[in-house]
Amino acid sequence: MKLKGKIVLITGASAGIGAATALSFAEQGACLLLAARRASKLDTIAAECLSAGAHSVQTITLDVRSYADVVAAIDALPHEWAAIDVLINNAGLSRGLDKLYAGSVQDWEEMIDTNVKGLLYVTRSVVPGMVARGRGHIVNLGSTAGEMTYPNGAVYCATKAAEKAINDGLRQDLLGTPVRVTSINPGMVETEFSQVRFRGDHERAAKVYQGLQPLTAADVADAILWAVTRPEHVNIAHVLLTPVAQANSLLFHRQTEGAASGNRP
């Protein structure tokens, strides 16, 4: 599948995997709809995407946790932008690393509202149009955390397990249509993820990546691009990717420690 001139909506596009994916698709000449909460960062990414070869770029300041805002944003798209070809549900986050019985309810709500409800809201607003037009591809960002729960991360892991179930259920519900559904499930990726999790504690965030080489946002973007550009009769259901130093959500090999251990993605 060629992406030149295709309309691609990316949520959480202001940084990390979302921004890297935007740049990757820009190089293919796609028309990019970039959505995120941080307007100033979106503008910077939009300019970089145009320089990288994007056919055109529109930005949408959007918090996916609000269903009303999601519906309004999709309904307000100009006619020439309304026929979305590819939806990349990338918006997501983790908060805290606490035992479940001591966790912050505010953190739980933010993760569930973004990672699960936000995913559902955007999907519900975009996919009916794909079905009506007889074409489209939805890419959902999962995690190794959805494959295996790790200590002190029960709620985040639960949101990613929900993503896996939603992804697989959506693919079943779309059977009989040409619309494709893919889950991209990365392990440890060095982005703003850990800084967000620890609310800007850079020292604690940096320790997550000590002693090993994590994935980069560009690595994940490359996997997304590969899945989307397969022939239109091919659906990539799941892609699980980790750094070589990671076996799963629990096992890491850190050179400085000489043993399998570490903080979780």
156 catalytic? Reply is yes
**Which residues have C-beta within 8 Å of that of residue 188, sequence separation ≥ 6?**
208, 209, 212, 214, 215, 242, 243, 246, 252, 265
Given the residues 121, 150, 156, 209, the one annotated as active site: 156
Report the chain's terminal Cα–Cα distance, integer Å.
32
Distance CA 100, CA 236 (A): 34
**Which residues have C-beta within 8 Å of that of residue 200, sequence separation ≥ 6?**
none
Residues designated as active site: 156
